[in-house]
Structure 1
């Protein structure tokens, strides 16, 4: 069953510092995403990977095209629906995380992770228990759980960020290079957690540069080239050429 239909998605950016030059981020990109699959987005630097995720999340408003979320009761075009609808879907259905933690001042790491669960109606105690389990699985030292993430290393922040994103088990999860700052051991723990905790119930669309990560988690691979869709292939047919930035 299709959960997302991307049709003719295009995004340009007006570069005022370059004399109002227009830069193409995405150019007529179309593909479908199946419920429960793990879709990896790959391509060279500047190929449109992050722009694609931000259009799906509506951080960027596309210039044209459709992004239809096929929900259990209705279809919603994320590219054109009202902002209020987008906010509701972000709260209940669609999660997003980049490689950088959007820190909340003076909030301990365990509560950063627990917050989306509390917002969904879980008790604070249950949410914090789930948060502690996720932080343990991602090898975040126990002594950091009650500390502020502003004091953490880049890799520790990235693990807190990932734990926060997956905690509520959204229907759709968008990941923008979520393991870039992790060493091989913690990267493996993150990959294992994505598989076990989400357990195929969440549709994942993730940007990755590491071939090993793509091969370990993906069902299919979307290859972008200069803002255009080059191909969509099963992971075992992907040639493995990923540019490391």
Structure 2
């Protein structure tokens, strides 16, 4: 918001009329005349949903100016997980996974390096904290000892509500494979709405050496706005046996 006209000294900003559980902060505060400040509104989970009239006031000495604003508080929605605490992910929730080794687990990943290509396949780092969702967390006695083998492994998130507006999914991911991988191998994310699972992210293998690398994905979730859904992360070493590693971290729906 711009500084109100007529002020000749620093202006102190305040907000009134905020509902319980909602706070407003201004930066900078005070603000110099002719400059601008940003008002940031934060709502607790228990804040009352609805549209609320708020009065923003600037004061400098005896001079006061006010402006009206609206604050909209929506229902609690969204989901965030950095995998540092247990938030309710379930491995093989449907009981249909076929992987014989390297199943998904949450923990501190150990780095593996290919003796053939000298590439790091499973990253020993995370994008935050010390834990992530990873296929075969431990390195094992050889770089391919605990990689994914034998088919599919999956992990399903707890149920959450997608925000009603401007909803998106972001997450960090890495997948790596040897040159014996094929397009039948994949890392995939689905949104599960009731009994319907929609694929929103799909990365496939190919017959080249691919090193592990943290990357960022962003997915538009407008089609699921306001719905109660789960995320399903799947990865597969399908078709013929190949070297395959996958990791996911910092999942957020906001």
* TM-score computed with the length of structure 1 as normaliser: 0.27
Q: Which has the higher contact order (CA 8 A, sep 6+)?
A: 1
More helix by share: 1
* TM-score computed with the length of structure 2 as normaliser: 0.26
Which is greater in Rg? 2
More strand by share: 2
